[in-house]
């Protein structure tokens, strides 16, 4: 195994407490479990540069090193097939991959316009998310890690780091709130054309089916959103649909969706926190997705001219029949 091409990633703190073997099995679905356990036993998988047992409990923030995924896939094919020259992995993957428009790229960052319906990472029944697809499509990138996350049904700007130093710098920018995230949403109700600050504390819970649900609770974590109406459309008298600009000052799970729903402005197409009866009617009229889009992200970035970077993902065409006052 050629370790100079090994892949490194940082374990998200969300997975603290999960066993290493289960973590890898959920992310390396192209490999049989026997191969994954052999990788762990042989030391091909390392955490913070050290060998660990399969039952090791992750702490979050650890440096995970695994062999190049391309080599692993090629190895599996060699074991499963007598063909001497399997097709190149990249060509095969590219033919199956969703489209991931690149908004920006340099030697440290890769910025993608994520389509709705694609999770940012695999797991929970999802074999490949954005990060897994990009690692397969770009095998030359030794390090590629998500700088932040978006919900599966949310489209728009996602920033990935191509260097560990860049990842730490991204995390610091979000943690210290020296970044600005702007979203476009279409909601039920009339939202005034002025800034309004929402400060509803949020707490993550588990629903009856084990799904993750976020609720407004006094003992929850601080969550701050600033909303402003951009325009309204008549839908069914006296109902109106409003296009909303949302700036988030914190990045809690499902923050925008829960804040807007709590204020009486459920996002169209939101199957978890939305107006379910309205969603059914709109689906019959052609609505095919949740209308929430990560429109713009600005970062304090000392290496950039002027010390800041700004990325914008155009509002998708799917918004046009329902939106008013949308800017790009």
- Share in percent of the chain as helix, strand, coil (round to 5): 25, 30, 45
DSSP string, 192-218: PSS-EEEE--EEEEE-TTS-EEEEE-T
Distances (CA, A) of 222 to 122, 179, 252: 28, 17, 8
Report how far residue 118's alpha carbon sits from residue 151's, in angstroms, rounded to the nearest whole number. 9
Q: Give kind and range of the element (H or E) at residue 231.
A: strand 224-234
Decide the pairing of beta strands 292-300 and 155-161: parallel
| Active-site annotation holds for 275 | no
Give the active site residue among 113, 151, 270, 275: 151
Instruction: Work out the widest C-alpha separation in the chain, in whole angstroms.
Output: 68
The dihedrals phi and psi of 233, each to the nearest 5 degrees, come to -125, 140
Distances (CA, A) of 203 to 15, 133, 254: 17, 31, 10
DSSP string, 81-134: ---SSPPPHHHHHHHHPPP--EEEE-SSEEEEEEPTT--SS-BTTBS--HHHHH
- What residues act catalytically? 151
């Amino acid at each position: 195994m050629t370790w100079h091409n090994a892949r490194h990633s940082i374990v998200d703190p969300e997975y603290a407490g999960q066993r290493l073997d289960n973590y890898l099995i959920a992310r390396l679905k192209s490999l049989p479990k026997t191969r994954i356990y052999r990788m762990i036993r042989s030391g091909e998988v390392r955490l913070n540069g050290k060998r660990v047992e399969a039952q090791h409990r992750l702490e979050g923030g650890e440096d995970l090193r695994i062999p190049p995924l391309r080599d692993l896939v090629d190895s599996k094919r060699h074991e499963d097939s007598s063909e001497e020259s399997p097709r190149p992995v990249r060509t095969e993957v590219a033919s199956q991959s969703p489209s991931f428009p690149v908004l920006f790229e340099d030697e440290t960052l890769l910025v993608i316009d994520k389509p709705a319906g694609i999770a940012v990472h695999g797991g929970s029944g999802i074999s490949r998310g954005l990060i897994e697809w990009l690692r397969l499509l770009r095998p030359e990138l030794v390090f590629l890690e998500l700088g932040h996350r978006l919900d599966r049904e949310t489209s728009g700007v996602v920033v990935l780091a191509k260097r560990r130093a860049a990842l730490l710098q991204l995390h610091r920018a979000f943690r210290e709130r020296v970044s600005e995230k702007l979203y476009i949403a279409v909601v039920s109700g009339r939202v005034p054309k002025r800034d309004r600050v929402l400060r509803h504390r949020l707490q993550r819970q588990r629903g009856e089916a084990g799904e993750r649900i976020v609720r407004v609770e006094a003992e929850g974590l601080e969550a701050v959103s600033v909303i402003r109406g951009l325009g309204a459309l008549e839908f069914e008298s006296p109902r109106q649909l409003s296009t909303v600009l949302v700036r988030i000052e914190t990045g809690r799970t499902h923050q925008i969706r829960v804040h807007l729903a709590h204020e009486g402005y459920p996002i169209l197409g939101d199957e978890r926190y939305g107006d379910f009866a309205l969603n059914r009617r709109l689906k019959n009229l052609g609505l095919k997705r949740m209308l929430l889009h990560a429109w713009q992200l600005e970062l304090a970035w000392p290496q950039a001219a002027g010390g800041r970077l700004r990325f914008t993902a155009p509002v998708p065409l799917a918004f046009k029949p329902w939106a008013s006052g949308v800017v790009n």
